[in-house]
Structure 1
């Protein structure tokens, strides 16, 4: 790419070679430049159209797969008319996280509230899982489940930094709580 400033006369602006299509054509053949001509005629572009209708499967006994029946609530986008024929039901919605997911699917997928509520529902579901473990007498090993041993083994500097930040935050919280109680 030309980066030199050249002025043929006092009236021509600098960098005219980079912006003027006529000046580019005067420099010669540009077809060796990757991506050059991407906005030219579609008939000359080998990748156009990118999407094609895939061929139908041969020898199948159906035009569309049979609709899967479900005994649990399955969320789907309100932007589509119906359910896909096949979907997963391994983790049905339950508890507060399920109610949050139900609330999230009232909004369109292009609405930020949809995704933020789903993120919050995931965090609530994690908390519900910990409470469920405690209710069944299983004390979760949060350090291992959050990747602590791997962090210590492969990213010691990051582990120490996080430990210092958490220790400082806990010490500050304890200090402020003790100071308030005096």
Structure 2
């Protein structure tokens, strides 16, 4: 049975340093007025023009003033991202589809390269040159596992059923 009496950690240097609100380490940097609770405590930048689809959290009432425009959601990965942003950020239905959309987007990028007549340089894009120089044994292990998995997949696909 566990002892429920409070433990004394005063022998640990710095323990409980933030327990006293008057000893707030951020105080010299910021004068606390609690005005943040009323809304923006700073002047909001001018809203960037929205001329592409911008996905934003359902927890936000509006789009952030400034956002990235390099890759608007498209294709299957875009559909997955749109699904993810219909769910709260505290839900697996938000984060897991976003992870999956990233993986799908990689495949879409490779297919797009082939469609444009470009063969992607997987060796360079995966950083294998740096691995060869700095983590040779790890790279050999990684390539060995990939070869084993690929061989197993070929064997399973090509074996004859009796």
Q: Which of the five TM-score ranges fits, normalised by the shorter chain?
A: 0.7 to 0.9
How many residue pairs are counted as aligned between the two chains?
A: 151
Question: Are the aligned partners of 2:47 and 2:66 in contact in 1 as well (CA < 8 Å)?
Answer: yes
Distance 1:77 1:178, change over 3 A: closer
CA distance in 1, matches of 2:14, 2:25: 12
Over the aligned positions, Cα root-mean-square deviation in angstroms equals: 3.2
1:67-112 Cα distance to aligned partner (Å, 9 max, x none): 2211100011110111122222121111111111111000101111
Question: Structure 2: 5+ residue runs without aligned partners?
Answer: 1-5, 33-42
- The offset of 1:20, in angstroms, is 6.0
1:18-45 Cα distance to aligned partner (Å, 9 max, x none): x665xx9xxxxx5x842234365423x2
Distance 1:103 1:179, change over 3 A: same
Question: Are the aligned partners of 1:42 and 1:48 in contact in 2 as well (CA < 8 Å)?
Answer: no
CA distance in 1, matches of 2:28, 2:108: 45
- The offset of 1:172, in angstroms, is 2.3
Question: Structure 1: 5+ residue runs without aligned partners?
Answer: 1-18, 25-29, 55-62
Distance 1:108 1:51, change over 3 A: farther
CA distance in 1, matches of 2:111, 2:28: 49
Which of structures 1 and 2 has the bigger CA Rg? 1
Greater relative contact order, per chain length (Cα 8 Å cut-off, separation 6+) = 2
Distance 1:36 1:138, change over 3 A: closer
Q: TM-score, normalised by structure 2?
A: 0.77
CA distance in 1, matches of 2:18, 2:30: 20
- Name the residue aligned to 2:39: none
- Name the residue aligned to 1:5: none
Q: TM-score, normalised by structure 1?
A: 0.69
- Name the residue aligned to 1:118: 98
